[in-house]
Amino acid sequence: MNRLIRVFLAVVIASALLLFAINRLNKAEGFAGDNTLTIYNWGDYIDDELIDRFEEETGIKVIYETFDSNEAMLTKVQQGGTTYDIAVPSEYMIDKMREEDLLIPLDHSKIPNLKNIDERFMDLPFDPTNKYSVPYFWGTVGIVYNTKMLDDIEITSWSDLWDPALKNEILLVDGAREVMGMGLNSLNYSLNDTKEEHLKEAKEKLDSLTPNIKAIVGDEIKILIANEEAAVGVVWSGDAADMMWENENLDYVVPSEGSNLWFDNMVIPKTAKNVDAAHQFINFMLDPEVSAQNTEWVSYSTPNKAALEFMPEEMVEDERFYPSPELTEKLEVYENLGKKNLAMYNDFFLQFKMHRK
């Protein structure tokens, strides 16, 4: 019996020592709860040097994970398996997450750099008073095209894509809201239209574009356009900027009929374990010089007005990515249309894709 007791005590002591050692190691590596910040963001959407700088300045270890769609992000947050401290959803998803009580209200007193954000991008319908979110990047959906491959063809509107001269030359992003929105805008309908007859009309018009469509693709659209595998692409503005950096023959236009004005904002999910560190990181990213560095790396448009003076003049004055107020008035933010209407969009988009086959 004494021997069993001694063995039992030895196991308990060894286990305690092991747990102590693991805890010490985690603290040394920055994985203790109070010293860790878990961020959930889009891919290629932050300058890694800034994460290193934040860790050095604060002593907080950053764990960085990425997602490829708002819907994938929402599912992970809803499941709660990973306790994300910061996420970066788009505007319509922020609205949905608010409705589902998945977000923690922000403490603006802990984000003094919030004053640097352009007032035009604050207090928008998807998050009145910015109770839950802070602008990170914004941009448009438009048309990137190769001026060399198209010779004298000028593209200024959605309707130009139906030119027979563009046969088998167009790549589309694989997104229901983007493609259906293009169809709706080409008919002068709102890209938030929920009338079934209008969506059907948009789908039928998209069907007539089929001869000009080479493929409907994902992130690879950037490589394909930059390598001149196709002459035209319907893309997000930041992706267009990346392509134009790789290929000087490319240009980008926001169609004259109007298009999507989108926002990606930083939020703190209800699952957050380190709310204080989340506020620190948000404030850090809103620093003018930090924001300027991040904007140059990511290539999307910054909502940080104070950052503009630290950025190259040719970048700030480029109306393709910082559109004039006149054009901005024609742009629409995606609204949260609800499950029923989103299902209708997805259904018509699927019908369009199947029509191509």
Whether residue 102 is predicted with pLDDT greater than 80 in this model: the reply is: yes
DSSP secondary structure string, 52-110?
Answer: HHHHHHH-PEEEEEEESSHHHHHHHHHH-SS--SEE--BHHHHHHHHHTT-BPPP-GGG
Q: pTM of the entire structure?
A: 0.80
Q: Are 276 and 60 in contact (CB under 8 A)?
A: no
- Note the pLDDT of residue 71: 87
DSSP secondary structure string, 137-159?
Answer: EEEEEEEEEEHHHHTT----SGG
Q: Enter the tokens of residue 112.
A: 């003094």
Q: Based on the domain organization, do 247 and 106 belong to the same domain?
A: no
- Note the pLDDT of residue 27: 39
163-196, pLDDT tens digit by residue? 999 999 999 999 899 999 999 999 999 999 999 9
Of 246, 253, 262, which Cα lies nearest the Cα of 334? 262
Q: Is pLDDT larger for residue 28 or for residue 330?
A: 330
Q: Based on the domain organization, do 277 and 128 belong to the same domain?
A: yes
Which residue is it, tokens 């019996």?
A: 1
300-345, pLDDT tens digit by residue? 999 999 999 999 999 999 999 998 888 888 899 998 898 899 999 9
- Note the pLDDT of residue 30: 37
Q: Based on the domain organization, do 42 and 175 belong to the same domain?
A: no
Q: Based on the domain organization, do 23 and 133 belong to the same domain?
A: no
Of 206, 207, 243, 241, which Cα lies nearest the Cα of 224? 243
Q: Is pLDDT larger for residue 20 or for residue 319?
A: 319
**216-223 contacts at long range (C-beta below 8 A, 24 or more positions apart):** 216/171, 216/172, 216/173, 216/174, 216/179, 216/353, 216/356, 217/171, 217/172, 217/173, 217/174, 218/68, 218/173, 218/174, 219/43, 219/68, 221/171, 221/173
Q: Based on the domain organization, do 214 and 76 belong to the same domain?
A: no
On the 0-12 / 13-18 / 19+ scale of CB atoms within 10 A, 142 is buried
Give dist(CA 64, CA 116) in Å, integer: 25
Q: Based on the domain organization, do 150 and 254 belong to the same domain?
A: yes
- pLDDT > 90 fraction of the chain, expressed in percent and rounded: 79
In the chain, the number of structural domains is 3
Residue 136, marked binder: no
Q: Based on the domain organization, do 206 and 341 belong to the same domain?
A: yes
Q: Which domain holds residue 170?
A: 139-261+323-354
Which residue is it, tokens 């290193």?
A: 52
Q: Enter the tokens of residue 28.
A: 């040394």
Q: Based on the domain organization, do 179 and 243 belong to the same domain?
A: yes
51-87, pLDDT tens digit by residue? 999 999 999 999 999 998 888 899 999 998 889 999 9
Q: Based on the domain organization, do 287 and 312 belong to the same domain?
A: yes
Q: Based on the domain organization, do 23 and 101 belong to the same domain?
A: no
Whether residue 111 is predicted with pLDDT greater than 90 in this model: the reply is: yes
269-290 average pLDDT score: 97
Give dist(CA 233, CA 235) in Å, integer: 6
Q: Is pLDDT larger for residue 17 or for residue 124?
A: 124
Q: Based on the domain organization, do 337 and 298 belong to the same domain?
A: no
The domain that holds 122 is classified in CATH as 3.40.190.10
Whether residue 207 is predicted with pLDDT greater than 90 in this model: the reply is: yes
Biggest CA-to-CA distance, the chain: 95
Q: Based on the domain organization, do 51 and 150 belong to the same domain?
A: no
